[in-house]
Chain A
């Protein structure tokens, strides 16, 4: 009995969560109020004779205190619920070991929580529909294939058929069975990561972002992690090289996006082979020949051989245009892929910073393995940015999923600095992120519109976003990240600066420099007006030339903006576009006529047909209109802005300046 005292305490805590939830009257008693205690009960059963950490009692008391004051703020109960979830993740990391099922046992409670809280998303449905069509295993919901944006036809999707075929047997168990096989893939991936590094590191990789984002879901990421890790674990030797090449080919068949990873595996294999610098001449000749074949196919055979992107033979031009016509954009995308609050790697997974610092140590100790990890991962990332351009994030699907194939690299880096205090600090923050996402499942998703779901939950609007893309902000974030890396690599006496950097970063993210962005305007200010485009899916905005921000549309009676905090003598600066719409601003009328933008010349030269931009809101130039405010414009402390007549007016931002602005 004494040996099982800790398990007993955990079981008591599970009952306590259940009881406190009800006693406090917290929302969602039927779902969150059951699954979180159930996960703790499962953890108690799986714990065996292991000792709990010192954090257990403080965590239990924090949950209780949090539940006590949950009503202070409408989101308070979610933060309180996230505390025991964070405790479960900490428990998983602390008990994972090399014993039989030691790693699986650790991840199981959180994995189940993740599975039941993650809604089935559009990609999973498409995979299931394709699986049903290809295998003939029909299920109630997925028996009929539906056409989606980007698909060739109703029966032929934009996904390769390998993954749907692999997950098809799961459909024998019904609709929800579509996650059975991916779940097995994820568990195998975790075990392989544990073999590559150690069980606690594998658990960190699985339960924290980016791996957590799609853990157990019917997505390809964890299968790619598993395959990539197998390639790393294989011994040296010619026959094993052949297996690695096979893995690379399977990765491409799994998802076209993994072509960068596959190319990296080939290059790394070659880099690890004996020979001097001259050995690179042969592959260069082969690559040139390949480029020649592609050029002949493109220009002479009109894409008969390599039909890519559903027959669009101009697809390779995208790479050309991204690299040579807009290199600064590509550098900017690379920067935001690390720092954007909605989809950037480091915002949801700060532990990766520690992992990057660990890679310097890892590269010195395990040079060959480092090459095999680093070259494919970095080429994958570069290819993702160059190929996908502004859609590198893959939103609105789960945040962070694009970075999952890089997990083995980060895991090895983390293993090298696991015992450092600052690593634990960054891991703690990452645990909090995963816990919040489980407690509030909507936080898995974002829409690339400048409003992050986690920040929104915390009541924060950030002026820092890829859709607004201010280079200065990106440089500031880069400075902070570089400082953290320096601190992590320097002597212990500098390490306290890690707090300065973390606090500065948080302050920086929550810093909203005033003014009203269309996407962030609260219902207290805006009534009736819609955001354009009308659906939040960022795919709608991928190909906008000007800005990818959503705009507030004022087009019909009843729609209004009531701007508070304006005084007589102030100036309103409104960033707007329209084809001649008239706005009523206070007692004034303002005609808004902005020019239709011209197609940038670099895009006119792509393709064979002449192109002009249609008269759509996104193709009109935004201009700044300054409106001086007088006494009679203000009614009940607010200035009222409504549509008066003519075409719709689209608003991006409103700023209030004290005093007159010189025109």
Chain B
């Protein structure tokens, strides 16, 4: 795909306009600044083999604020490693660095180091091995970047003729706590059925907390029941962080009845 230089600039300007529109309509957020680097990268990569992937990331970053850091980091790392010119590689590094600077990503050092090394190393084939090597070293030694949102997820619920049913998302290392609030009126008998697994030991992997009481449970299947009153919140927390070859997950179903 050979397009004139003016087209590259036009694509960048389109991206910047989209960034401005996003901030005008959704409210300004400094977390959206890495998008500028991403759209610059998109324009620069117009005639290269990385263009389809940068385009996909740009569209994801534009449409979804929550996926924006993911999109910018992936395209930035890609550009650092496979960018055919130094200016593409440097822009990729700016994208990675600006994301890590503006958005608190834990375990971000390996990402920044790999991006910087990829920009500086001149030999193409060696650069290709940087992301795989960085990933393996990071996974085995430093761990992978953790979830951006520290805010726990609240489970949805419905009440039908005094019967309570919760709709609970899976808990894993990217969403490590879910809260089950008690209904706003009445006293409720609540049960939860837990299925937890994906670990390779029998050390407790989850904490179930209600008020001052806490229960630590290993992997396996458990059913628990509680009495809940307005203001109570039942918290299900995964106590495991990232570990290689572990796929920690808690599947929960829960319901209750008005007493």
Binding site for B on A (CB under 8 A): 16, 20, 22-27, 29, 53-55, 57-59, 61-62, 64-77, 79, 83, 86, 90, 421, 424-425, 428-429, 432, 455, 458-460, 496, 499-500, 502-504, 506-507, 509-511, 522-524, 526-530, 534, 556-560, 640, 642
In Å, the complex CA distance between A59 and B18 comes to 26
Q: In whole Å, how far is B75's beta carbon from the nearest beta carbon of chain A?
A: 8
Q: Assess whether A73 is in contact with B148, with CB atoms less than 8 Å apart.
A: yes
Q: Chain A nearest CB: distance from B68 CB in Å?
A: 9
Cα separation A496 to B15 with both chains bound (whole Å): 12
B136 part of interface (Cβ distance < 8 Å): yes
Instruction: Flag if B66 contacts A503 (CB, 8 Å).
Output: no
Q: A68-B139, A507-B22, A510-B64 are in contact. List 4 more A-B contacts (CB 8 A).
A: A57-B128, A77-B174, A79-B67, A496-B14
Give A530 to B167 CA distance when docked, in angstroms.
Answer: 12
Rounded to whole angstroms, the CA-CA distance of A507 and B21 in the bound complex is 8
> Known: A58-B78, A558-B164. Is A69-B73 also a contact (CB below 8 A)?
yes
Q: Please list 26 pairs of residues, one from A and one from B, whose beta carbons are closer than 8 Å in the complex, sorted by A's number.
A: A23-B135, A25-B243, A25-B244, A55-B49, A58-B82, A61-B128, A61-B131, A61-B132, A62-B53, A65-B77, A65-B135, A68-B131, A68-B135, A69-B74, A70-B174, A72-B174, A74-B172, A496-B10, A499-B10, A499-B14, A503-B18, A507-B22, A523-B155, A556-B162, A557-B258, A558-B164
Complexed CA–CA distance, A502 and B243 (Å): 40
Q: Does B126 contact A (CB under 8 A)?
A: no
Q: How far is the CA of A503 from the CA of B35 in the complex (A)?
A: 13
**A459-B64, A523-B156, A527-B157 known; A61 and B78 CB under 8 Å?**
yes
Contact residues in B for A25 (Cβ distance below 8 Å):
144, 173, 198, 242-248
Q: Is A499's CB under 8 angstroms from B11's CB? A: yes
Contact check: which of B1, B21, B160 meets A421 at CB < 8 Å?
Answer: B1
> B158 and A529: CB pair below 8 A?
yes
- B167 CB contacts on chain A under 8 angstroms: 523
Question: B3 in the interface, Cβ–Cβ < 8 Å?
Answer: yes
Q: List chain B residues, Cβ under 8 A from A53.
A: 49
The reply to whether B56 and A428 contact each other, CB–CB distance below 8 Å, is yes
In the complex, residue of chain B having the shortest beta-carbon distance to the beta carbon of A513:
B25
CB of B244, distance to nearest CB on chain A (Å)? 5
Assess whether A58 is in contact with B53, with CB atoms less than 8 Å apart. yes
CB distance from B254 to the nearest CB of A (A): 13
- B219 proximity list for chain A (CB < 8 A): none
B59 at the interface (CB under 8 A from A): yes
Report Cα–Cα, A444/B146, bound state, in Å.
Answer: 29
Q: Is the CB of B258 within 8 A of A500?
A: no
Pick the residue among B22, B131, B185, B188 that contacts A65 (CB under 8 A).
B131
Q: How far is the CA of A233 from the CA of B241 in the complex (A)?
A: 60
> Are A503's CB and B62's CB within 8 A?
yes
* A-contacting residues, B98-154, CB 8 Å: 105, 111, 128, 131-132, 134-136, 138-140, 144-149, 154
From residue B213, how far is it (CB to closest CB) to chain A in Å?
Answer: 22
A69, B147: Cα distance in complex, Å = 9
List, in ascending order, chain B residues with CB within 8 A of A559's CB.
159, 183
Residues in chain A near residue B111, CB distance under 8 A? 68-69
Are B183 and A560 closer than 8 Å at their CB atoms? yes
CA distance A523 to B153 in the complex (A): 9
B34 at the interface (CB under 8 A from A): no
Question: What is the bound-complex CA distance between A530 and B77, given in angstroms?
Answer: 44
CA distance in complex: A496, B188 (Å): 61
Quote the shortest CB–CB distance from A538 to chain B (angstroms).
20
Indicate if the CB atoms of A503 and B64 lie closer than 8 Å.
Answer: no
Give Cα A534–Cα B242 distance, bound, in whole angstroms: 39
Asked whether B173 lies within 8 Å of A71 as measured between CB atoms, the reply is yes
Q: Is the CB of B185 within 8 A of A71?
A: no
B243 contact set on A, CB distance < 8 A: 25
Hey, which chain B residues are within 8 Å of A504, CB to CB? 18
Q: Is the CB of B157 within 8 A of A460?
A: no
Contacting residues, chain A, for B145 (C-beta < 8 A): 68-69, 71-72
Which residues on the A side are within 8 Å of B188 (C-beta)?
Answer: 558
Contacts of B75 in A (CB 8 A): 62
Across-interface contacts of B14 in A (CB, < 8 A): 496, 499-500, 503
In the bound complex, CA of A47 to CA of B1 (Å) = 25
A residues near B10, Cβ cutoff 8 Å: 496, 499
Give B60-83 as 1s and 0s: 1 = Cβ < 8 Å from A's Cβ atoms: 101111110110011101100110
A119 → B minimal CB distance (Å) = 18
Contact B154 A523, beta carbon cutoff 8 Å: yes
Contact indicator B3/A458 (Cβ below 8 Å): no
Map CB proximity to A onto B1-35 as digits: 1 under 8 Å, 0 otherwise: 10100110011001101100110010000000000
Given contacts A23-B244, A499-B10, A511-B25, contact A459 B73 (CB under 8 A): no
When distances are taken between beta carbons in the complex, the residues of chain B under 8 Å from A64 are: 131-132, 135
- Which of B15, B69, B82 has a CB less than 8 Å from the CB of A72? B69
CA–CA, A147 to B213, complex, Å? 50
Contact B56 A558 (CB under 8 A): no
Contact B59 A429 (CB under 8 A): yes
Which residues from chain B contact A642 at a C-beta distance below 8 Å?
Answer: 184-185
Known A459-B64, A559-B183; judge A72-B136 contact (CB<8 A).
no
> Nearest residue in A to B245 (C-beta to C-beta)?
A22
10 closest A-B pairs by beta carbon, nearest first, are A558-B183, A523-B156, A54-B49, A459-B66, A458-B64, A528-B159, A71-B174, A557-B185, A65-B77, A496-B10
A527 lies within 8 A of B181 (CB): yes
A432–B173 CB distance below 8 A: no
Partner of B60, one of A26, A65, A79, A421: A79
Q: What residue in chain B is nearest A508 (Cβ atoms)?
A: B21
**B204 at interface (Cβ–Cβ under 8 A)?**
no
- For B248, the closest partner residue in chain A by CB is A25
Q: Which of B136, B159, B175 contacts A556 (CB 8 A)?
A: B159
Give residues 171-214 of B contacting A (CB, 8 Å). 172-175, 181, 183-186, 188, 198
Which residues on the B side are within 8 Å of A459 (C-beta)?
64-67
Q: Residue of A at shortest CB range from B59?
A: A506
B73 cross-chain contacts in A, Cβ below 8 A: 65, 69, 72
Contacting residues, chain B, for A428 (C-beta < 8 A)? 52, 55-56
Judge whether B183 and A73 touch: CB under 8 Å: no
- C-beta contact mask, B78-93 vs A, less than 8 Å → 1, else 0? 1001100000000000
Q: Is the CB of A65 within 8 A of B78?
A: yes
Judge whether B249 is part of the interface by a CB distance below 8 angstroms.
yes
Which one, B21, B138, B160, B174, contacts A76 given CB within 8 A?
A: B174
Query: Which residues of chain A are near B77, meaning CB under 8 Å?
Result: 61, 65, 68
Q: How far is the CA of A20 from the CA of B247 in the complex (A)?
A: 12
Is B239 interfacial (CB-CB < 8 Å)?
no
Q: How far is the CA of A530 from the CA of B17 in the complex (A)?
A: 40
Question: Whole-angstrom distance from the CB of A439 to the nearest CB of chain B?
Answer: 13
Q: How far is the CB of B149 from chain A (nearest CB, A)?
A: 8
B96: nearest chain-A partner, CB-CB: A65
- Given known pairs A61-B128, A68-B138, the reply for A74 and B169 (CB within 8 Å) is yes
Query: Shortest CB–CB separation between residue B6 and chain A, in angstroms?
Result: 8
Answer yes or no: B50 CB below 8 A from chain A CBs: yes
Closest chain A residue to B66, Cβ basis: A459
Whose C-beta in chain B lies nearest to the C-beta of A534?
B160
Whether the Cβ atoms of A460 and B148 lie closer than 8 Å is: no
Contacts of B131 in A (CB 8 A): 61, 64-65, 68
What separation, in Å, do the CA atoms of A57 and B198 have in the docked complex?
A: 31
Q: Is the CB of B62 within 8 A of A79?
A: no
Cα A72 to Cα B105 with chains together (Å):
8
Q: How far is the CA of A168 from the CA of B55 in the complex (A)?
A: 45
Q: How far is the CA of A59 from the CA of B53 in the complex (A)?
A: 7
Partner of B148, one of A72, A79, A640: A72
Q: What is the CA–CA distance of A560 and B159 in the complex, to the nearest angstrom?
A: 10
Closest chain B residue to A90 by CB distance?
Answer: B52
Task: Give the shortest distance, in Å, between A423 (CB) and chain B (any CB).
Answer: 11
**Do B164 and A425 touch (CB < 8 A)?**
no
